[in-house]
Homo-oligomer: A and B are copies of this chain.
Amino acid sequence: MQNSKVLSNIVERIKTSCTVSNISCSCFDHLTEEQKELVERNQVLVEYKKGEVIVKQGTFTSHILYICEGLVKVFYEEGDQSLILRIASPKSLIGLTSLPTNQNIFQYTASAYVNTTVKLIDINIIRKLILENGRFATAIIDVLSEVAMQKNGRFFCLNHRQAFGKLADIILCLAGNIFKTDKFELLLSRKELAELSGMSTESVIRTLKSFQDDGLIRMNGKTFEVIDPEGLMKICHLG
Protein backbone atom coordinates (compact mmCIF):
# COMPACT_ATOMS: atom_id res chain seq x y z
CA MET A 1 0.00 0.00 0.00
CA GLN A 2 1.27 3.43 -0.85
CA ASN A 3 -0.18 5.06 2.20
CA SER A 4 2.05 3.05 4.44
CA LYS A 5 5.06 4.67 2.91
CA VAL A 6 3.62 8.16 3.25
CA LEU A 7 2.70 7.24 6.78
CA SER A 8 6.13 6.23 7.85
CA ASN A 9 7.65 9.29 6.26
CA ILE A 10 5.25 11.47 8.13
CA VAL A 11 5.77 9.77 11.42
CA GLU A 12 9.46 10.25 10.83
CA ARG A 13 8.95 13.97 10.65
CA ILE A 14 6.64 14.43 13.59
CA LYS A 15 8.35 12.15 15.97
CA THR A 16 8.54 14.89 18.54
CA SER A 17 4.88 14.89 19.34
CA CYS A 18 4.44 11.18 19.43
CA THR A 19 1.99 10.15 22.05
CA VAL A 20 2.43 6.47 22.15
CA SER A 21 5.97 5.37 22.22
CA ASN A 22 7.54 2.12 21.36
CA ILE A 23 10.93 2.81 22.77
CA SER A 24 12.54 -0.57 23.04
CA CYS A 25 15.46 -1.46 25.19
CA SER A 26 18.38 -3.53 24.09
CA CYS A 27 20.15 -3.02 27.38
CA PHE A 28 20.41 -6.70 28.26
CA ASP A 29 22.45 -7.35 25.16
CA HIS A 30 25.34 -5.57 26.82
CA LEU A 31 25.56 -7.89 29.77
CA THR A 32 28.22 -10.49 30.26
CA GLU A 33 27.17 -14.12 30.44
CA GLU A 34 27.60 -14.02 34.17
CA GLN A 35 25.46 -10.92 34.50
CA LYS A 36 22.79 -12.36 32.26
CA GLU A 37 22.64 -15.34 34.54
CA LEU A 38 22.31 -13.11 37.54
CA VAL A 39 19.30 -11.48 35.94
CA GLU A 40 17.86 -14.85 35.06
CA ARG A 41 18.07 -15.97 38.64
CA ASN A 42 16.45 -12.85 40.00
CA GLN A 43 13.50 -12.50 37.74
CA VAL A 44 10.10 -14.04 37.47
CA LEU A 45 7.92 -14.33 34.42
CA VAL A 46 4.32 -13.41 35.03
CA GLU A 47 1.30 -13.45 32.78
CA TYR A 48 -1.42 -10.89 33.19
CA LYS A 49 -4.88 -11.08 31.72
CA LYS A 50 -6.38 -8.20 29.85
CA GLY A 51 -7.31 -5.46 32.29
CA GLU A 52 -5.33 -6.73 35.24
CA VAL A 53 -3.30 -4.29 37.26
CA ILE A 54 0.41 -5.03 37.15
CA VAL A 55 1.64 -2.40 39.54
CA LYS A 56 -0.42 0.08 41.48
CA GLN A 57 0.47 3.70 42.04
CA GLY A 58 1.60 4.24 45.61
CA THR A 59 3.02 0.77 46.24
CA PHE A 60 6.68 0.01 46.86
CA THR A 61 8.91 -0.58 43.91
CA SER A 62 10.73 -3.80 44.36
CA HIS A 63 10.95 -4.75 40.70
CA ILE A 64 11.46 -3.32 37.27
CA LEU A 65 9.06 -4.57 34.60
CA TYR A 66 10.23 -5.75 31.23
CA ILE A 67 7.43 -6.39 28.79
CA CYS A 68 7.89 -9.58 26.81
CA GLU A 69 4.57 -9.64 25.06
CA GLY A 70 1.44 -7.56 25.02
CA LEU A 71 0.62 -3.94 25.68
CA VAL A 72 0.67 -2.08 28.96
CA LYS A 73 -1.13 1.12 29.83
CA VAL A 74 0.85 3.31 32.19
CA PHE A 75 -1.25 5.99 33.82
CA TYR A 76 -1.31 8.50 36.58
CA GLU A 77 -4.37 8.73 38.77
CA GLU A 78 -5.58 11.32 41.20
CA GLY A 79 -9.12 11.31 42.51
CA ASP A 80 -11.40 10.26 39.71
CA GLN A 81 -9.20 11.74 37.04
CA SER A 82 -6.51 9.89 35.22
CA LEU A 83 -3.97 10.58 32.55
CA ILE A 84 -2.37 7.94 30.39
CA LEU A 85 1.36 8.56 30.44
CA ARG A 86 2.24 6.07 27.79
CA ILE A 87 1.37 2.81 26.21
CA ALA A 88 4.27 0.50 26.49
CA SER A 89 4.88 -2.23 23.96
CA PRO A 90 7.15 -5.28 24.07
CA LYS A 91 10.80 -4.71 24.97
CA SER A 92 9.89 -1.68 27.05
CA LEU A 93 10.98 -1.20 30.60
CA ILE A 94 8.64 0.18 33.22
CA GLY A 95 9.68 1.46 36.59
CA LEU A 96 13.01 3.04 35.71
CA THR A 97 11.95 6.27 37.34
CA SER A 98 12.03 4.43 40.64
CA LEU A 99 15.72 3.65 40.35
CA PRO A 100 16.81 6.44 42.67
CA THR A 101 16.92 4.80 46.06
CA ASN A 102 15.00 7.64 47.67
CA GLN A 103 12.23 7.17 45.14
CA ASN A 104 10.99 3.74 46.02
CA ILE A 105 7.30 4.22 45.39
CA PHE A 106 5.54 3.77 42.08
CA GLN A 107 4.26 7.08 40.82
CA TYR A 108 1.89 5.50 38.36
CA THR A 109 -0.29 2.50 37.78
CA ALA A 110 0.38 -0.02 35.04
CA SER A 111 -2.28 -2.36 33.76
CA ALA A 112 -2.40 -4.90 30.98
CA TYR A 113 -4.26 -3.85 27.87
CA VAL A 114 -4.25 -7.23 26.32
CA ASN A 115 -2.96 -10.48 27.74
CA THR A 116 0.57 -9.59 28.63
CA THR A 117 3.71 -11.36 29.70
CA VAL A 118 6.06 -9.44 31.92
CA LYS A 119 9.44 -10.15 33.45
CA LEU A 120 9.76 -8.83 36.96
CA ILE A 121 13.39 -8.10 37.68
CA ASP A 122 14.64 -7.26 41.14
CA ILE A 123 15.35 -3.54 41.13
CA ASN A 124 18.49 -3.99 43.21
CA ILE A 125 19.95 -6.22 40.54
CA ILE A 126 19.35 -3.48 37.98
CA ARG A 127 21.02 -0.99 40.30
CA LYS A 128 23.95 -3.32 40.70
CA LEU A 129 24.30 -3.81 36.97
CA ILE A 130 24.28 -0.07 36.37
CA LEU A 131 27.15 0.26 38.81
CA GLU A 132 29.10 -2.57 37.27
CA ASN A 133 28.43 -2.30 33.59
CA GLY A 134 28.88 1.02 31.85
CA ARG A 135 27.34 -0.08 28.62
CA PHE A 136 24.26 -1.28 30.45
CA ALA A 137 24.07 2.05 32.27
CA THR A 138 24.37 3.87 28.98
CA ALA A 139 21.51 1.87 27.53
CA ILE A 140 19.33 2.68 30.51
CA ILE A 141 20.16 6.36 30.16
CA ASP A 142 19.28 6.19 26.50
CA VAL A 143 15.84 4.83 27.32
CA LEU A 144 15.21 7.45 29.98
CA SER A 145 16.32 10.20 27.62
CA GLU A 146 14.14 9.08 24.79
CA VAL A 147 11.11 8.75 27.01
CA ALA A 148 11.79 12.22 28.37
CA MET A 149 12.02 13.72 24.92
CA GLN A 150 8.84 12.14 23.74
CA LYS A 151 7.12 13.40 26.82
CA ASN A 152 8.19 16.94 26.03
CA GLY A 153 6.67 16.73 22.60
CA ARG A 154 3.48 15.26 23.90
CA PHE A 155 3.34 17.82 26.63
CA PHE A 156 3.48 20.59 24.11
CA CYS A 157 0.93 18.90 21.93
CA LEU A 158 -1.64 18.43 24.65
CA ASN A 159 -1.19 21.95 25.89
CA HIS A 160 -1.15 23.98 22.76
CA ARG A 161 -3.18 22.05 20.28
CA GLN A 162 -6.87 21.70 20.42
CA ALA A 163 -9.10 18.71 19.98
CA PHE A 164 -8.51 18.24 16.25
CA GLY A 165 -4.78 18.54 16.50
CA LYS A 166 -4.44 16.24 19.46
CA LEU A 167 -6.48 13.46 17.96
CA ALA A 168 -4.85 13.74 14.57
CA ASP A 169 -1.53 13.36 16.33
CA ILE A 170 -2.64 10.34 18.26
CA ILE A 171 -4.04 8.58 15.24
CA LEU A 172 -0.89 9.14 13.25
CA CYS A 173 1.21 7.85 16.11
CA LEU A 174 -0.88 4.76 16.64
CA ALA A 175 -0.77 3.97 12.96
CA GLY A 176 2.87 4.78 12.47
CA ASN A 177 4.46 3.69 15.71
CA ILE A 178 2.40 1.03 17.33
CA PHE A 179 0.66 -0.79 14.54
CA LYS A 180 2.93 0.31 11.71
CA THR A 181 0.19 0.09 9.14
CA ASP A 182 -2.58 2.36 7.95
CA LYS A 183 -5.34 -0.07 8.84
CA PHE A 184 -5.57 -1.49 12.31
CA GLU A 185 -7.79 -2.85 15.01
CA LEU A 186 -7.76 -0.33 17.81
CA LEU A 187 -7.67 -1.82 21.27
CA LEU A 188 -8.51 1.43 23.00
CA SER A 189 -12.04 2.50 23.70
CA ARG A 190 -13.14 6.05 22.98
CA LYS A 191 -12.94 6.66 26.67
CA GLU A 192 -9.33 5.61 26.73
CA LEU A 193 -8.55 7.76 23.74
CA ALA A 194 -10.01 10.54 25.82
CA GLU A 195 -7.71 9.77 28.72
CA LEU A 196 -4.81 9.67 26.33
CA SER A 197 -5.61 13.01 24.79
CA GLY A 198 -6.89 14.76 27.88
CA MET A 199 -10.30 15.49 26.45
CA SER A 200 -13.83 14.24 27.09
CA THR A 201 -15.13 11.02 25.61
CA GLU A 202 -17.86 12.86 23.75
CA SER A 203 -15.41 15.22 22.14
CA VAL A 204 -13.29 12.30 21.01
CA ILE A 205 -16.28 10.71 19.34
CA ARG A 206 -17.36 13.89 17.65
CA THR A 207 -13.89 14.70 16.43
CA LEU A 208 -13.33 11.22 15.05
CA LYS A 209 -16.67 11.45 13.29
CA SER A 210 -15.71 14.69 11.73
CA PHE A 211 -12.42 13.20 10.54
CA GLN A 212 -14.43 10.46 8.93
CA ASP A 213 -16.83 12.91 7.31
CA ASP A 214 -13.87 14.81 5.91
CA GLY A 215 -12.48 11.63 4.41
CA LEU A 216 -9.37 11.57 6.56
CA ILE A 217 -10.02 8.26 8.21
CA ARG A 218 -12.47 5.40 7.97
CA MET A 219 -13.86 3.69 11.03
CA ASN A 220 -15.91 0.62 11.56
CA GLY A 221 -16.30 -0.20 15.20
CA LYS A 222 -12.78 -0.78 16.39
CA THR A 223 -11.27 -0.95 12.94
CA PHE A 224 -9.47 2.20 11.94
CA GLU A 225 -8.04 3.11 8.59
CA VAL A 226 -5.96 6.16 7.84
CA ILE A 227 -6.93 7.41 4.39
CA ASP A 228 -5.32 10.80 4.20
CA PRO A 229 -2.22 10.91 6.39
CA GLU A 230 -1.07 14.14 4.77
CA GLY A 231 -4.35 15.74 5.73
CA LEU A 232 -4.10 14.56 9.32
CA MET A 233 -0.58 15.85 9.38
CA LYS A 234 -1.74 19.25 8.30
CA ILE A 235 -4.39 19.36 11.00
CA CYS A 236 -1.80 18.28 13.48
CA HIS A 237 0.34 21.27 12.72
CA LEU A 238 -2.36 23.86 12.34
CA GLY A 239 -4.61 23.02 15.22
Alpha-carbon distance A98/B127, docked complex (angstroms): 22
Alpha-carbon distance A135/B130, docked complex (angstroms): 8
Task: Pick the residue among B127, B141, B153, B156 that contacts A99 (CB under 8 A).
Answer: B141
Alpha-carbon distance A23/B158, docked complex (angstroms): 25
Complex contacts, A147 vs chain B, CB 8 Å: 148
Nearest CB of chain B from residue A164's CB, rounded to whole Å: 16
User: Would you call B145 and A100 a contact (CB within 8 A)?
Assistant: yes
Does A185 have its Cβ within 8 Å of any Cβ on chain B?
no
Main secondary structure of the interface of A (DSSP, over half): helix
User: Would you call B141 and A83 a contact (CB within 8 A)?
Assistant: no
| Chain A count of residues within 8 A CB distance of the other chain | 41
Residue in A98, A103, A130 whose Cβ sees the most chain B Cβ within 10 Å: A130
Known: A132-B134, A155-B151, A156-B76. A142 touches B108 (CB 8 A): no
Q: How many monomers of this chain does the complex have?
A: 2
Nearest CB of chain B from residue A150's CB, rounded to whole Å: 10
Which partner residue on chain B sits nearest A141 by CB separation?
Answer: B99
User: Would you call B100 and A146 a contact (CB within 8 A)?
Assistant: yes
User: Would you call B198 and A145 a contact (CB within 8 A)?
Assistant: no
Complex contacts, A133 vs chain B, CB 8 Å: 134
User: Would you call A97 and B148 a contact (CB within 8 A)?
Assistant: yes
Task: Pick the residue among B81, B97, B127, B138 that contacts A127 (CB under 8 A).
Answer: B138
Complex contacts, A97 vs chain B, CB 8 Å: 145-146, 148-149, 152
Task: Pick the residue among B16, B96, B131 that contacts A145 (CB under 8 A).
Answer: B96
User: Would you call A103 and B134 a contact (CB within 8 A)?
Assistant: no
Does A160 have its Cβ within 8 Å of any Cβ on chain B?
yes
Sorted from nearest, which 4 A-B pairs have the closest CB atoms? A131-B134, A137-B137, A159-B198, A100-B142
A sample of 4 more A-B contacts (CB under 8 A), given A76-B156, A155-B155, A159-B159, is A83-B156, A97-B152, A100-B145, A134-B137
Q: List 5 A-B contacts (CB under 8 A).
A: A78-B156, A83-B160, A133-B134, A151-B151, A151-B155
Partner-B contacts on A (CB < 8 A): 16, 76, 78, 81, 83, 85, 96-100, 103, 107-108, 127, 130-135, 137-138, 140-142, 144-149, 151-153, 155-156, 158-160, 198
